[in-house]
Amino acid sequence: SVDSTSRSNSNGASASQERPPALSEEEDEESRFRHAFEVKECLGSGAFGDVFRVKDKVMQKFYAVKIVHSKSNALREVEALSDLLHINIIRYFSSWEEETRYQDGSDSFSG
């Protein structure tokens, strides 16, 4: 599931934001994921990671982003998805790695 947090914007108004449970407040400040996307909902969770429906803050487009907690699993998945182009398979766009304090010390993001 996705945690909900309240924050104040520059005007002092409170805004409700959702964030993946793997990211702490400190990590939130430097996270590419948190700066680029607004989490709308958790689409699913499993042994290999969590998938979130997100909205790109600049382009205003919706994406599915998978947060994978094992670097080796993420690399295999990215290699497989980057070569696939099929109407019934979600299109792969990008991936990146961020330092976190979750499990092995890093999370991999792909969307």
Annotated binding site: 66
**Feature table: binding site for ATP:** 66
Candidates 106, 103, 33; CA nearest to 74 is 106
> What six digits make up the tokens of 5?
């947090």
Residue type, 86: H
Task: Show the tokens assigned to 47.
Answer: 């042994």
Give Cα separations from 30 to 4, 8, 24, 27, 98 (angstroms): 19, 17, 11, 6, 9
Question: For 10, which DSSP code?
Answer: T
